[in-house]
Homo-oligomer: A and B are copies of this chain.
Amino acid sequence: MTAEPAGPDELDYLSFVDYAVSEAGARLPEIDADALRLVLTLHRVTSAIVYDLESAVHRPRGLSWPGFRVLFVLWIAGPLESKRVAELSGMSRAAVSALVNTLERDGLVSRRQADHDRRAVQLSLTDTGRETIVGDYHAHNEREQAWATTLDPAERAQLVGLLEKLMAGAATAAAKRRF
């Protein structure tokens, strides 16, 4: 009464994947249903984790998810040109520029002209920015642990390995990448 192939009325966010794979496969037999399942599952798991982290950790502390990513990159690889922040965080240069307006207004990041190239802008964390990202990242990591402990260490390593392989394949293939 519950393990039946659910009809469209009993679906939820989780079971939608199975339903979509069987429906799409039945309607378009030429597609690769395994690839559909892989990408759909990957997207849903990642979205759930990001939603959890953003709403439970970052928003309550006054940061957006993109804001967190920029502060994290600056904290790890610190002071950097705007262009490098875009590369390392996976955002466009325009998005970094717009986002830094907010972070600068909030006193977390400062801009200054680079010495060697007057076109470039050097971004640094302010003292407040550094305190913010350290505290924020502690809370972030606790939540990451909560997610990660669902898997035992061997499974975690396996998952990371498979994801890295997937990513490496993309570099080889002609995937459209920002960098």
Q: Chain copies in the assembly?
A: 2
Given A158-B162, A159-B159, A162-B159; A88-B35 close (CB under 8 Å): no
Cα-based distance from A123 to B13 in the complex (angstroms): 18
Interface flag for A164 (CB, 8 Å): yes
Indicate which residue in B12, B45, B165 contacts A166 across the interface (CB closer than 8 Å).
B45
Interface residues of A in 23-56 (CB under 8 A from B): 23-24, 28, 31-32, 34-39, 41-53, 55-56
Query: Could you tell me how many residues of chain A have their Cβ less than 8 Å away from some Cβ of chain B?
Result: 79
B38 touches A144 (CB 8 A): yes
Report B-chain residues with C-beta under 8 Å of the C-beta of A80: 8
Distance between A78 CB and nearest chain B CB, rounded to angstroms: 8
Interface flag for A146 (CB, 8 Å): yes
A14 touches B171 (CB 8 A): yes
Smallest CB gap from A24: residue in B: B76
A16 touches B88 (CB 8 A): yes
Interface residues of A in 1-16 (CB under 8 A from B): 8, 11-14, 16
SS of A interface (majority):
helix
Interface flag for A169 (CB, 8 Å): yes
Report B-chain residues with C-beta under 8 Å of the C-beta of A177: 48, 51-52
Smallest CB gap from A148: residue in B: B35
Among listed A100-108, A109-117, A134-142, interface-contacting one: A134-142
B141 touches A169 (CB 8 A): no
Report B-chain residues with C-beta under 8 Å of the C-beta of A95: none
